[in-house]
Structure 1
């Protein structure tokens, strides 16, 4: 009974957080807290209850459902706060309002769309990938789902999609930890996230949103982790900037194209959203050019929908573990799982000093760093490094000592 009360108290605290800092944070998705203060409060409750309580919380299905409910509340609040720029698509996912994407457009299709009230805002090929797309403004008075259905009916042979938004998958907090010692240097990793500050590791940076590049805590902490894991060169793509609808599928696809044009061998994406056909095509095109794409599974719990881009074919999907090697209870899920890496009990240098980190966001770049360390045979090498393979850790845990960024 006592454990049941503890568990209910934890879930209540998590759900109560949905009306506070966690949702306020979603007004600024570039900062990068998908669970915000709610996880901090949850972690504090777990610490107070002891490790035994933590194992109890990880098991019950009702707790996972509560976490999934929190995700829905969070997304609904995000759309309400940004109703001028964001709307729900036909599947209930936040997307850029008043806009649709058309894959492989031809002049006849664009002309027909324009005659039906859609305005062509942009069209061409993704740089470095050769994937054709058009960005269309929807007719006035039509909801995003209705406009999607109408355009698909008008162009049945074409792929029409909303431009869904992806969210960062981790949180940061203050710490008084000491600085880490530098690791051996080597390797190049691309980061698709928010903006970062210039430093010796940054080879190039590009923006794919209004106001980008704009440094934020989430991305800056990841760059610090990459440095601590031995990465020498970072290419950063800011897909958020100052845009409430930043992190959309088109921005991420363009960022992948830019990375491909720069010949970046490994790209880490710590963002989570629904499936999107344009982004799926972009990922496949980048992989066909030899790029490894690494993605976090997110922090919405095992009862949440599949996370993308982690669920796209051949993407290296990564979950997070704490300092005791336990998979984070809030870790999301993908169609497959490749590796686990540290996602808690770790620190990095953020925008204003050293911070603590929690979330699968911070596990993905560590796996990317290990991939970048091998010029050939990278996956086989990682399989030899990985320990503790299992259903919840994939082929095993990597870089378990990589818990301090520099």
Structure 2
């Protein structure tokens, strides 16, 4: 893949002007088990480099690492982690005694709202690498929950072209959670919403394009309450699992029923555990599956059990060639050439699974203002009944249970 193409994809600009007209098939391809991917490849020559799509997000993290080696380092499987730190969930300080005796020190401690655990960030003992320190902690407390302080990336980018319309919801009493960048609370398309904003990093709450665009798909101009957790800010450690887990704890505290997470990254023991706690309490987590390509390994939190993983399609209902695939894909929604609130004002065209997830989250949130474990299965079944089957008949690893139409917005109320 050329450097120019990688840069264009990172910026969310999808190059189409130079594509030959023959890329559009005049007739449909029979729906054989292997032809969904073939059809996508023929429709979009850029998909011929499909195995390299995973590199786009990784290149972004690599750049972050190169610029901030004093606080970040390379973790296993090309992940990016905070240097000399590990994270753990514990019931209280007493559980840390054997770790402190081994030379670990507490850097930060965070309550997790209504969840029965506290998050601790530990400084590794002098002379140990971060990898060895994690192994040591697990040896000392084999029943504990420990992992690196991983960094997570956003799963979509705004393009440069402004467009005329904005997304808008239709239920004024909507309550929904958003874990992302900060949101421009004074934006014209968000002024009707009540936005409860909190920062979960070292900086002040910082509005940014990604979170603002996702927020406009969640609440639009109709109002309602948006609980916005900024886990990025302006610093190099933004997007850490520490901030992500703390934000999830806040969502539990305010008892918001549906939480949108348009972020992707590696499996992490703390994130896995907290996601399970939330779903057990009756929260619905909706997450983007990511844009690393169909051959990529699953990304998290979308791939955790109980989390609603959302992929992206274009206006023809064809899967985006960059969208991840797998058993964890639950639904698909429009994720190309859609308009969201842009910065500093107006609208912007976007692409990526980041912007498919909030459309599904908005539907569910309108019917689930607060967590309710007895309602979740019924709401998901109602959403499935309204979804358009695509790909192979029934559930598949490309479209999940089908394509959710924005035209059916908020139609799930009363289904549980």
Summarize the Cα distance change of 1:63–1:176 in structure 2 as closer, same or farther, 3 Å threshold: closer
Does the alignment pair 1:194 with 2:186? Answer: no
Does the alignment pair 1:266 with 2:258? Answer: yes
After TM superposition, the structure 1 = structure 2 runs for residues 49-60 of structure 1, keeping only pairs within 5 Å, are: 50-52=23-25, 55-56=41-42
The alpha carbon displacement at 1:242 in A equals 1.8
Most deviating of 354-363 and 81-90? 81-90
Choose the corresponding residue for 2:402, options 363, 373, 396: 396
Q: TM-score, normalised by structure 2?
A: 0.82
Choose the corresponding residue for 1:100, options 70, 86, 101: 86
Most deviating of 280-289 and 370-379? 370-379
After TM superposition, the structure 1 = structure 2 runs for residues 129-278 of structure 1, keeping only pairs within 5 Å, are: 129-180=115-166, 182-186=168-172, 187-198=174-185, 199-228=191-220, 232-278=224-270
The alpha carbon displacement at 1:105 in A equals 6.1
Aligned residues: 376
The alpha carbon displacement at 1:54 in A equals 5.9
Structure number having the greater helix percentage:
1
Q: TM-score, normalised by structure 1?
A: 0.84
Most deviating of 383-392 and 237-246? 383-392
Task: Give SS of 1:351's match.
Answer: coil
CA RMSD between the two structures: 2.8
Q: Which residue does 2:372 correspond to in 1?
A: none
Contact 1:90 1:144 in 2 (8 A): no
The alpha carbon displacement at 1:59 in A equals 9.0
Q: What is the distance in 2 between the residues matched to 1:44 and 1:203?
A: 39
- Structure 1's unaligned 5+ residue stretches are 1-11, 23-34
Summarize the Cα distance change of 1:256–1:157 in structure 2 as closer, same or farther, 3 Å threshold: closer
Q: What is the distance in 1 between the residues matched to 2:383 and 2:87?
A: 37
Choose the corresponding residue for 2:300, options 301, 305, 308: 308
- Structure 2's unaligned 5+ residue stretches are 26-38, 186-190, 369-374, 410-416
Q: What is the distance in 1 between the residues matched to 2:74 and 2:231?
A: 20
The alpha carbon displacement at 1:47 in A equals 7.3
Q: Which residue does 2:384 correspond to in 1?
A: 383
After TM superposition, the structure 1 = structure 2 runs for residues 313-332 of structure 1, keeping only pairs within 5 Å, are: 313-332=305-324
Summarize the Cα distance change of 1:261–1:157 in structure 2 as closer, same or farther, 3 Å threshold: closer
Q: What is the distance in 2 between the residues matched to 1:317 and 1:114?
A: 38
Q: Could you give the per-residue CA deviations for residues 324-372 of structure 1, whole angstroms, max 9, x where no partner exists?
A: 1111100123541110001001111112221000000000000001112
Q: What is the distance in 2 between the residues matched to 1:259 and 1:63?
A: 39
Task: Give SS of 1:96's match.
Answer: strand
The alpha carbon displacement at 1:62 in A equals 6.6
Choose the corresponding residue for 1:120, options 89, 106, 117: 106
Task: Give SS of 1:40's match.
Answer: coil
Task: Give SS of 2:272's match.
Answer: helix
Contact 2:40 2:318 in 1 (8 A): no
The alpha carbon displacement at 1:180 in A equals 4.1
Q: What is the distance in 2 between the residues matched to 1:145 and 1:43?
A: 43
The alpha carbon displacement at 1:110 in A equals 2.3
Q: Could you give the per-residue CA deviations for residues 218-249 of structure 1, whole angstroms, max 9, x where no partner exists?
A: 00011112234966321111011122111111
Summarize the Cα distance change of 1:86–1:202 in structure 2 as closer, same or farther, 3 Å threshold: farther
Q: What is the distance in 1 between the residues matched to 2:298 and 2:244?
A: 18
Contact 2:303 2:309 in 1 (8 A): yes
Q: What is the distance in 1 between the residues matched to 2:269 and 2:59?
A: 26
Q: What is the distance in 1 between the residues matched to 2:250 and 2:366?
A: 22
